[in-house]
Amino acid sequence: MFLKKQNYKMRSVFILYITLFLLSSCKKARDKEEFEVVQIEDSHNMEKPNIVFILADDLGYGDLSSYGQEKFNTPNIDKLAKGGMMFTQHYSGSTVCAPSRSVLMTGLHTGHTFIRGNKEVMPEGQYPLPNNIFTLAEGLQEAGYKTGAFGKWGLGFPGSEGDPVNQGFDVFYGFNCQRLGHNYYSDHLWLNKDSIVLKGNQGFNKGVYAPEVIHEKTLDFIDKHKDSLFFLYVPSIIPHAELAAPQEEMELFENAFPKGKPYNGAEGELYGTGSYGSQKNPRQAFAAMVTVLDNQVGDIVEKLEEHGLTENTIIIFTSDNGPHTEGGADPESFNSNGPFRGEKRDLYEGGIRVPLIVKWPQEINPGSTSDHLSAFWDFLPTFAEVGGFKVPIEIDGISMLPTLKGNSAEQGKHEYLYWEFHELGGRQAIRKGKWKAVKYDVLKNPEAPFELYNLEEDNEELDDVAAKHPEIVKEMEMILNNARTPSEVFTFDQDTYLNVK
């Protein structure tokens, strides 16, 4: 009996040693395997997806047929929606160009991002992002992505700290200056730090439609980097005013709409400095421009398919803010803001709620829709998670990756969303759950009252219920008082506003 017990004990110890050895071996193998995976992900690896981010300029929530447009069609963008996910509660970074793009690049809303308004630098460009700002492009570049931007920049004049090639892009081609981007027959574009003359547009000629040239370079970037991991940022200038399109697209809508009021703009020597050009038929031109944009989206998708890249590429399509009224544009005739109140420069829904379509065949169920509450500052943490880079600063964004993968239960949510706009007397807005608080004329009148809307019951923001919900208004005031940090450049104070005026 003793021997049996002793043998049993020895056998148990032996089994224990064997088990520990095997577990240790497995752990070492697992650790080695994990190390190898990390090494692969940190180097060039197609397990990471390519990213194509297409940003329309001043395209309203209702300007796509997939979002309700009935007067013209956007079949290529609609096809993206059918193959991916449509968002119904997505917001731009701001209600105008430069701050919206700053929010996109930094993951910080307009109470924290560096560029908080359109501040011009003469003769060409806008106030620059400084060197110490971490951008989405820099993160992806560090993660092994080839990065290219083709279109409109607006975050730093040529050669400045904010020049796109100083903010994480390997190559930039297009309009550095958003003001000069008002003219579609510009006399020059920028290739990195070089000014490229468009010979067909010298003098008073309009021989080269700049969006077409930029589009050719966009497709060339895909060709060049088809065997690499890449981030392609396409900040189109379409359909921002001026209203101009090639004759082929104009003819498609020659008799499609009642003729609107002609727009008499800059001509001759006055053209080319940022003033909008003339347009005899603004409605026809607007529909033609959106058609150009839709065709270009189709070309990008076709180019990805040509190289067998669609399965492992995320395509994002959205807009930088709501629809504009400049240059003869008539958003009301197209219902460009969809069911919402307000347009560009408004902080009502029409000025900041924008279409968002994301296609990612490996992860997103085709034809899906999400009402997840999201905004431009969510893209940086999303791409950080997708691309495998760390964000070295505290940001306002929350990764949307769980939603994209269909794991809504795991999706983090915002406590609130915040916007500020420094022009037209100063405007602020907060979205918290179903509640939307809007405050206008805050610089002219710091004591301006809040408007309060229940977006679940009133997404047109027609019924101000502030008087019925003083407790919600008080909560919104507390959020507003803590939602921003001061900026020495974009001061957002009454004295600055009055001095400007």
Average pLDDT over residues 194-206: 95
What pLDDT score was predicted for residue 260? 87
Grade residue 331 by pLDDT with cuts at 50, 70 and 90.
very high
SS3 147: strand
Residue (of 165, 39, 167) closest to 102 by Cα position: 167
Query: What are the CA-CA distances from residue 433 to residues 109, 394, 414 (Å)?
Result: 17, 23, 9
pLDDT at 107 over 60: yes
What pLDDT score was predicted for residue 39? 27
Average pLDDT over residues 210-229: 98
Top-confidence residue, 95 or 499: 95
DSSP category for residue 253 = T
- Ordered by start, the domain boundaries in the chain are 48-410, 417-500
What pLDDT score was predicted for residue 44? 39
What pLDDT score was predicted for residue 495? 62
Grade residue 425 by pLDDT with cuts at 50, 70 and 90.
very high
Give the C-alpha separation, 70 to 20, whole Å: 69
Grade residue 222 by pLDDT with cuts at 50, 70 and 90.
very high
If 0-12 CB within 10 Å is exposed, 13-18 middle and 19+ buried, where does residue 269 land?
A: exposed
Residue (of 337, 379, 367, 331) closest to 355 by Cα position: 337
What dotted CATH number matches 48-410? 3.40.720.10
Give the C-alpha separation, 147 to 183, whole Å: 26
Amino acid identity of 55?
L
Inter-residue contact 172 to 149 (CB < 8 Å) = yes
Inter-residue contact 411 to 337 (CB < 8 Å) = no
Inter-residue contact 69 to 62 (CB < 8 Å) = yes
Grade residue 501 by pLDDT with cuts at 50, 70 and 90.
very low
Amino acid identity of 93?
G
Top-confidence residue, 97 or 446: 97
CATH topology of domain 417-500: Arylsulfatase, C-terminal domain (3.30.1120)
pLDDT at 4 over 90: no
pLDDT over 90 for what percent of the chain?
Answer: 86
Grade residue 12 by pLDDT with cuts at 50, 70 and 90.
very low
Average pLDDT over residues 422-450: 95
Average pLDDT over residues 186-212: 96
Grade residue 498 by pLDDT with cuts at 50, 70 and 90.
low
Query: What are the CA-CA distances from residue 486 to residues 134, 278, 390, 420 (Å)?
Result: 19, 41, 26, 12
DSSP category for residue 375 = E
Q: 154-181, pLDDT tens digit by residue?
A: 999 999 999 999 999 999 999 999 999 9
Give the C-alpha separation, 369 to 367, whole Å: 7
Residue (of 248, 224, 222, 244) closest to 233 by Cα position: 222
Q: 365-394, pLDDT tens digit by residue?
A: 999 999 999 999 999 999 999 999 999 999
Percent helix, strand and coil across the chain, each to the nearest 5 = 35, 15, 45
Grade residue 446 by pLDDT with cuts at 50, 70 and 90.
confident
What pLDDT score was predicted for residue 6? 37
Positive or negative, the Cα torsion across 119, 123, 129, 131? negative
Grade residue 292 by pLDDT with cuts at 50, 70 and 90.
very high
Contacts of 349 (CB under 8 A, 6+ apart): 61, 337, 340, 341, 342, 436, 455, 459, 460, 461
Ranking 250-254, 265-269, 294-298, 313-317 by mean pLDDT, the lowest is 265-269
Give the C-alpha separation, 332 to 335, whole Å: 5
Q: What is the 3-state secondary structure (H, E, C) of 85-123?
A: EEECCEECCCCCHHHHHHHHHHCCCCCCCCCCCCCECCC
Average pLDDT over residues 57-77: 98
What pLDDT score was predicted for residue 499? 52
